């Protein structure tokens, strides 16, 4: 049956409505029950966003920033050019961001409709993000959970010696600049760890997680040791209840140095050996 999707949230316009995934949420977790059915068309009408609560726009921006981090640095430039202006529902910055994020999602999905390889880059930030959603009983918005999940993934990647700490700084600053959370409560590791072990990207007993080496260079990394993940969690939960970085209004972002100067360099030993279990370029 041909289906035309007419998403009414920003998140659905740039992500959920594109790619043919349909699914229902269950108490066991998200994305566990569903089928693939490609829509005949997706109509993104920005006027519909005029009535959408700002918090939902902010949530949608997390998936847009994710698309930028995994595949299109130009998205990060647009967000940096006016983090607050991007929140205007019918504004030109948001129009450009929707267009670019749709291109990323459509291209990745066309490459790998059944998520057997490259499509998994779209799960960046979702391992920890889905765990947060589950632990919070789905009271967090999806984009909010993914935002913290991307900071977690960046903390893991830096600790694994894969990512330059300045890119971790960029994660925190860019997400905070649009009002997304970058920290999660301490003391929840046992529950989060149990949820992450049930993640859909895992294959049998092999745990898998998408990490970035750089903007646009995602990797699938297998069996990262729990201790390293827990260390990353400690960093994400270091400041209870608040984003640990000041929100920047005028980012020092330049094309020559796309990560700008991070306001924070975490206490990381870059000699930490890379995680065992193997990596796969996506």
Positions in the binding site for ligand NAD (CB under 6 A) = 8-9, 11-12, 15-16, 19, 21, 23, 25, 30, 48, 51-52, 56, 142
259 three-class SS: coil
Tokens of 139: 């009271």
Min. distance of Cβ 30 from ligand NAD in angstroms? 5
Of 21 and 208, the one with the shorter C-beta distance to ligand NAD is: 21
Of 33 and 239, the one with the shorter C-beta distance to ligand NAD is: 33
Min. distance of Cβ 13 from ligand NAD in angstroms? 8
Of 61 and 224, the one with the shorter C-beta distance to ligand NAD is: 61
Min. distance of Cβ 21 from ligand NAD in angstroms? 4
Min. distance of Cβ 11 from ligand NAD in angstroms? 4
Q: What angle do CA 226, 202, 230 make, to 5 degrees?
A: 15
DSSP notation for 132-154: HHHHTTT-S-HHHHHHHHHHHHH
Min. distance of Cβ 15 from ligand NAD in angstroms? 4
143 three-class SS: helix
Min. distance of Cβ 112 from ligand NAD in angstroms? 13
What single-letter DSSP state applies at residue 254?
-
168 three-class SS: helix
Interatomic CA distance for residues 159 and 198, integer angstroms: 23
Pairing mode, strands 4-5 and 41-42: parallel
Interatomic CA distance for residues 181 and 178, integer angstroms: 9
Of 163 and 210, the one with the shorter C-beta distance to ligand NAD is: 210
Of 55 and 238, the one with the shorter C-beta distance to ligand NAD is: 55
CA distances from 22 to 12, 99, 109, 277 (A): 12, 22, 14, 32
Write the CB contacts of 258 (distance below 8 Å, at least 6 apart in sequence): 73, 76, 77, 170, 215
Of 18 and 224, the one with the shorter C-beta distance to ligand NAD is: 18
């Amino acid at each position: 049956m041909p289906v035309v999707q007419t998403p009414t949230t920003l998140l659905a316009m740039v992500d959920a409505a594109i790619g043919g995934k349909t699914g229902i949420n269950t108490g066991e977790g998200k994305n566990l029950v569903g089928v693939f059915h490609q829509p005949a068309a997706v109509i993104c009408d920005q006027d519909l966003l005029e009535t959408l609560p700002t918090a939902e726009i902010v949530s949608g921006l997390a998936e847009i920033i994710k698309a930028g981090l995994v595949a299109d640095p130009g998205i990060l430039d647009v967000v940096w050019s006016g983090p607050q202006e991007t929140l205007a529902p019918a504004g030109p910055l948001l129009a450009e961001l929707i267009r670019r994020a749709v291109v990323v999602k459509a291209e990745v999905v066309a490459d790998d409709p059944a998520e057997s390889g490259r499509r998994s880059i779209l799960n960046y930030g979702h391992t920890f993000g889905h765990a947060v959603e589950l632990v919070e009983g789905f009271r967090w918005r999806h984009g909010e959970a993914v935002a913290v999940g991307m900071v977690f993934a960046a903390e893991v990647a830096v600790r694994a010696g894969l990512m330059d700490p300045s890119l971790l700084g960029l994660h925190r600053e860019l997400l905070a600049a649009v009002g997304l959370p970058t920290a999660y409560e301490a003391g929840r590791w046992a529950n989060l760890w149990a949820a992450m072990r049930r993640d859909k990207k895992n294959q049998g007993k092999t745990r898998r997680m998408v990490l970035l080496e750089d903007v646009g260079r995602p990797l699938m990394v297998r069996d990262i040791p729990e201790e390293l993940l827990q260390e990353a969690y400690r960093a994400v939960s270091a400041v209870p209840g608040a984003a640990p970085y000041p929100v920047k209004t005028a980012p020092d972002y330049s094309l020559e140095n796309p990560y700008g100067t991070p306001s924070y360099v975490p206490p990381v030993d870059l000699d930490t050996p890379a995680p065992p279990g193997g990596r796969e370029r996506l």
